[in-house]
Amino acid sequence: MRALIAALCLGLSGMASAQTTDLRALDTDYAAASWKAVGRIDFGRGAFCSGTLIAPDLVLTAAHCLYRPGSDQLWPTDNIRFHAGLRDGRAVASRPARAAAAHARFAPTEPLSAENVAYDVALIRLAEPIPTYDVPPFYVHDDRIRPGSVSVVSYGKGRANAQSRQKECQMLARQGDAMIFDCDVTFGSSGAPVFSHLNGRGRIMAVISGMISIGGQKRSVGMVLPDRVTELKQQLRMQVPTPAAKVRRITVGGGGNRSGLGAKFVKP
């Protein structure tokens, strides 16, 4: 943790303050209409994360979500279900998982560090595609990354049954492929998409990996995505049809504890 904070804080000095808005529940059809591809991923025993559809059958989330809390044991694939646009117990579409892959370089029991955050990415392949006319997927941001305004849509503790959106928060600094934000996230927000808004509809710049404290202020951390997503797609292609649950980073599991500092699971 200290290594991550020290590295990322180097980029914070001299930054001009920018507007950060409050978190707002997307509690009406109109408010939630543009964000149906963001959903809740359930793993069993009340464990959940946030995730986003990036293709009709692919959900992007955080790698630690696939591991049982506090361990390197993966959740069985048949425990996992994605609920797109879940609100008040109803989803636009729900699908079980067919396969999943946490990035091969993510270490679920190691401390929160800039390197581990950079690989805290996973893909879940759904058993059946969700039609794009029902839920249009989001694209991954593949342009230059600059400090500045972003937005986040997430689920979390106390708001597990509806999306919440922070229309504007800030990407504050970057160290390698790890980034730090002032976005308002909490337990259960792991895997939530951080959107850039440079060209029309938002593109996913990062997913939320966890939370840290800097000078008594809560900050969230995420990672640069394009290369990680490409590598994860290759991992999925290499999977056997029915992977065993004990094969690390190949099938599906639960979130690592990482000293309790990540935005982890809660019971709804």
As a whole number, mean pLDDT of residues 46-65 equals: 96
Number of domains in the chain: 1
As a whole number, mean pLDDT of residues 76-83 equals: 96
- State the CATH number of the domain containing residue 229: 2.40.10.120
List pLDDT tens digits, range 136-193: 999 999 988 888 899 999 999 889 999 999 999 999 999 999 999 999 988 889 999 9
Range with the poorest average pLDDT among 40-44, 97-101, 214-218, 230-234: 214-218
Beta-carbon contacts of 38 under 8 Å, excluding residues fewer than 6 positions away, are: 50, 51, 52, 53, 84, 85, 153, 154, 163, 192, 193
Q: Give domain status of residue 267, yes or no.
A: no
Backbone angles phi, psi at 237, to 5 degrees: -65, -30
**CB distance 86 to 153 below 8 Å:** no
For 142, the domain range is 2-260
Q: Give domain status of residue 266, yes or no.
A: no
What's the pLDDT score for residue 75? 95
Whether the pLDDT of residue 46 is over 50: the answer is yes
As a whole number, mean pLDDT of residues 19-39 equals: 90
Q: Give domain status of residue 214, yes or no.
A: yes
Q: Give domain status of residue 230, yes or no.
A: yes
The pLDDT-based confidence of 198 (bands split at 50, 70, 90) is confident
Q: Give domain status of residue 145, yes or no.
A: yes
As a whole number, mean pLDDT of residues 47-55 equals: 96
Average pLDDT over all residues of the chain: 84
What's the pLDDT score for residue 158? 87
**CB distance 264 to 209 below 8 Å:** no
Which position has the higher pLDDT, 12 or 44? Answer: 44
What's the pLDDT score for residue 240? 56
Structure tokens at 3: 């290594």
As a whole number, mean pLDDT of residues 26-31 equals: 91
What's the pLDDT score for residue 62? 97
What's the pLDDT score for residue 203? 95
The pLDDT-based confidence of 21 (bands split at 50, 70, 90) is confident
Q: Give domain status of residue 248, yes or no.
A: yes
Q: Give domain status of residue 42, yes or no.
A: yes
Q: Give domain status of residue 121, yes or no.
A: yes
